[in-house]
Structure 1
Amino acid sequence: MFRLGATQAARSAQGVRTYATLREIENRLKSIKNIEKITNTMKIVASTRLNKAQRAMQASRVFNESDTEFIENADPKALEQEGAEGQAAKPEKTLLVVVSSDKGLCGSIHSQISKAARKRAAELNDNVEIVAIGDKVKTQLSRTHAAQLKLAFSGVGKEAPNFIEVALIADEIAKLGTFENTEILYNKFVSGVSFEPSKFSVFAADAIQNAPGINKYELESEDASQVLSEFSFANNLLSAMAEGYASEISARRNAMDNASKNAGDMITSYSILYNRTRQAVITNELVDIITGASSLE
């Protein structure tokens, strides 16, 4: 009788532990289902916003093509190369504008542009001043290039960029002073599933004024080259932010799609585990009932 009582007590303790495990599995299953609903909703929202982001990107590319055509015709790069070959002077400090956003949950899009910025800064021997557009890239670059980080902007990336917003950012960046070399790093939208870090080069007013092909254009005033340089910077910045916005929305949609698929796989696994555990609990209860009935005979 003592052995029978000990056996039943052990089985009862095992049953209690099994019930607790069953409750834990049920709670975990509910949590995963809630996460799946959230990721599915975020995927739908990102898919809806992607069309608007792509339209804004295409519009910015139209303006950027005219700026690219002007640079190719004026050819200030030729003057820059001649100056580099003619003298071995100390290189001028470069302004590096890194374009990102404030939001996460979009894969590796922020870390890749930060990695590209660190690589470019190393190529320039850290002879750079960095401007970060977006909290994510600001946080990542401040860990390694806090001394070079001179200016940062937040509250960007919530909506598709417009020229007014970009012009205000460009005016604040212009207060840092004049730079011979200005580069804009951004995530270029390649397709719905891929993007790549790219850059725009913006030339100073002196480089445009002394460009070999500038005589093709009839400049109305002496300040025209300065205006062209400022407009080129704002134009390229708008295109970079529009490309980055479309890349971010696309990356978030893909990330939420993958998260939803992973949640679905986990729901399937936990559902099987829940059914098996529940079946084991019922079997243990039947065994206890049969054992108790047998001991009374």
Structure 2
Amino acid sequence: MSMLARSVLRAATQQPVVAAPAQARNMATLREIELRLKSVRNIEKITKSMKMIASTKLAKAQRAMQAGKDYGVANAEVFANTPSDKPTPNKLFVVVSSDKGLCGGIHSSVSKATRKALTSDPESLLPVGTQINKDSPIAIIGDKSKAQLSRQLSGHYSITFNQIGRDIPTFADAAGVADLIIKSGVSFDSVILVYNKFVSAISYEAALMEVKGEEALKEASAFNAYENEDDATKDLVEFSLANAIYAALVEGHACEQSARRNAMDNASKNASDMISSLTMQYNRGRQAAITNELVDIITGASAL
């Protein structure tokens, strides 16, 4: 039995390997290109549809942003006229992002700005000379930035939010976030909002907005010129925080829709370029296969 097995094995190894015909290889390649073309065309249809949807949402988001910016302007004017000499190193960072992707680097921009601010990077967006406690707590709105910052700054997380801004943000959403931040028991002298600032329909940039806390507001000489009850000051701080969060949410939402539209536009253009390249490759392969068949037919006819 062993001699028979060795003889069979020897005969099998001595048999020549038959290569696949060139025509079969070409046809298989053409089939693969055809399937890939079909796949890329389907992707192009999806990205174009998503671009149209994002364009419609962007128009609504821009209208909401123009109305929401008034809240931020009013806040900035209040705090600009109430300067305080009291240092506020204990700051709470509120990172404004969202839960959705497919919108370019919209989330990584606020994540990078937060990391630079907490590490006192020279390129940080904080004003020169700003005192920062490296153990400052972080509140995050949105799952995307939460995942990006979890590797280095997960120990700083105090409270996180999700399912906010799925549609156009409202003042009720911002008020709910501000109320939970104040009730969370986190100690802070001021709040720094890290959000995306809307520059144009094709660009955005990370920005910071500071909202003073109750103690810092009480120390302001301009604020002490008026007789105010403690409850009024506390309510003003909470209302100012809600105003600032609302302005950051609507502006960040507009940036997100703009970035998503641009991302889908670029994806559609890349798909169109790939379709053109694959179509040319398919036509060349098809012409080569037809030429080989004609050569075989002519050669056979000449032999006869």
Q: Which of 222-231 and 136-145 deviates more?
A: 222-231
CA distances 1:173-213 after superposition (whole Å, capped 9, x unpaired)? 11133311211100010111111111111111121122111
The answer as to 2:208 corresponding to 1:211 is no
2:295 matches 1:287: yes
Distance in 1, matches of 2:96 and 2:265, equals 25
Q: Following superposition of structure 1 onto structure 2, how do residues 1-297 of structure 1 map, counting pairs within 5 Å?
A: 13-76=21-84, 79-80=85-86, 84=87, 92-123=89-120, 124=132, 126-174=134-182, 175-215=184-224, 217=226, 219=228, 221-295=229-303, 297=304
The separation in 1 between residues aligned to 2:54 and 2:155, in whole angstroms, is 36
Q: In the TM superposition, what whole-angstrom CA distance separates every residue of 1:71-116 from its partner, at most 9, and x where no partner exists? A: 122223xx23xxx4xxxxxx74321110000111111111111111
Q: TM-score, normalised by structure 2?
A: 0.86
| Most deviating of 263-272 and 67-76 | 67-76
Provide the C-alpha distance between the structure 2 equivalents of 1:150 and 1:63, rounded to a whole number of angstroms: 26
**What residue ranges of structure 1 are gaps of 5+ in the alignment?**
1-8, 85-90
Displacement of 1:35 = 0.7
**How many Å apart are 1:274 and its aligned residue?**
0.7
> Bigger shift: 63-72 or 281-290?
63-72
Checking the alignment, whether the CA contact within 8 Å between 1:74 and 1:216 is kept in structure 2 is no
Using the aligned pairs only, state the percent identity.
Answer: 51
Which stretches in structure 2 are left out of the alignment for 5+ residues?
1-17, 121-131
| Number of residue equivalences | 275
Indicate if the aligned counterparts of 1:94 and 1:127 stay in contact, CA closer than 8 A: no
Give the secondary structure class of the aligned counterpart of 1:105: coil
CA-based RMSD of the aligned residues comes to 1.6
CA distance in 1, matches of 2:147, 2:280: 42
Residue identity matched to 1:70: V
- Supply the AA of the counterpart residue of 1:97: V
Q: Is the 8 A contact 1:131 1:150 kept in 2?
A: yes
The CA distance in 2 between the partners of 1:255 and 1:101, in whole Å, is 16
Q: Specify the SS of the correspondent of 1:107.
A: coil
Secondary structure, counterpart of 1:127 in structure 2:
coil
Q: CA deviation at 1:215?
A: 4.4
What is the TM-score when the length of structure 1 is the normalising length?
A: 0.88
Distance change >3 Å, CA 173–CA 222, structure 1 → 2: closer
Aligned residue type for 2:69: R
Change (3 A) 1:266 1:54: same
- C-alpha separation in 2, matches of 1:125 and 1:70: 25
Question: CA contact under 8 A between 1:160 and 1:245: conserved in structure 2?
Answer: yes
Secondary structure, aligned partner of 1:95: strand
Deviation per CA, 1:9-67: give whole Å up to 9, x if none.
86x71100100000000011111111111111111011101111011111111122222
Aligned partner of residue 159 in structure 1, secondary structure: coil
The one-letter code matched in structure 2 to 1:180 is D
Counterparts of 2:210 and 2:195, CA distance in 1: 12
- Whether the 8 Å contact between 2:90 and 2:133 is mirrored in structure 1 is no
Q: Which amino acid aligns with 1:117?
A: T
Q: Where do 4+ consecutive residues of structure 1 move more than 3 Å?
A: 215-219
Distance 1:64 1:112 in 2: 21
CA contact (8 A) 2:158 2:186 kept: no
Distance in 1 (CA, whole Å) between partners of 2:73 and 2:142 is: 25
